[in-house]
Chains A and B, each alone.
Chain A
């Protein structure tokens, strides 16, 4: 009976210990701390909350096991999505009750856990239901609609959806490398601010 066997059985989610190991390596440098503050600020948008509060809340919820991390994507992707989910719940709450205090907002604890949280939900290999597949399709259309003023960005998103990267993606979107980098920056910023309920 070995601990390796135990690890094999429990391999659907990243464990808290694995997150802690990742954290020690990838959240310790100044540049990474800046990176996650940029991400938090993008997600918070106009919400008057310190980006560090969002980062801290996401890490806290993961460390106490309140949020499960999907092993089929990177820990970075999971952390980003946990932050996105929390920020989204804060935006919703503020929209519903504009007078809500900052303390109350930060302490609020609504998590949608819906099928569209595609990065946080473990992929068990089974095909999505027709209803879920339709919802995913509608969500993809909504993401494209964020870029109605930028057909080049829509092409890049289309290519990314197909799994294209680098030169292949540039060729697909008919862009050179420098244009692709510019469009990718735009996509990254706008999508962080995208909210279904906005």
Chain B
């Protein structure tokens, strides 16, 4: 056997294997366990589907509201001269660097975004909002 990994890696290995077991369960095994838990497998599937849909809808509403607030804040801020040379791609790269550096001016939600997936308007609004915060 090769060198024993450190305890953090060992612990991680144990939990990853536990998740692998879950992912490897067949539908028949899942049905058996659900019945043992007193849950009808068909009801479980329906409730699982509904949970995913509701969580997605609820999060979309929050994302829309955050985006609206961001745009509003960007429109309202007038104290900084906006360099027209800052294109959406420039803003994306700068934001990616701030995210990689875990910059404190970014909210946790912003840190979990990939600027590459934001639209131009959103990425520029976030970029100029951070510039305002840096003043």
Contact = CB atoms under 8 A, between A and B. Distances in A.
27 contacts: A3-B92, A4-B116, A5-B93, A7-B114, A13-B112, A15-B113, A30-B45, A32-B48, A33-B48, A38-B37, A52-B50, A65-B108, A65-B110, A77-B15, A80-B18, A118-B11, A127-B6, A128-B6, A140-B10, A143-B11, A161-B5, A162-B1, A162-B10, A162-B13, A187-B18, A191-B14, A191-B15
Interface of A: 1-7, 9-10, 12-13, 15-18, 23, 27, 30-39, 41, 50-53, 55-57, 59-60, 63-66, 68-69, 73-74, 76-77, 80-81, 116, 118-119, 123, 127-128, 132-134, 136-137, 139-140, 143, 157, 160-163, 165, 184-185, 187-188, 191-192
A162 B7 CA distance: 10
Interface stretch (B28-36, B67-75, B76-84): B28-36
B116 A7 contact: yes
Interface residues of B, number: 64
A64 B15 contact: no
Contacts of B9: 163
B127 to A, nearest CB: 13
Chain A binding site: helix, strand, loop or mixed by DSSP? helix
Interface of B: 1, 4-19, 21-23, 25, 27, 30-31, 33-34, 37, 39, 41, 44-52, 54-56, 58-59, 62-63, 89-90, 92-93, 96-97, 99-100, 107-117
A139 B6 CA distance: 13
B14 A143 contact: yes
Contacts of B92: 1, 3, 6
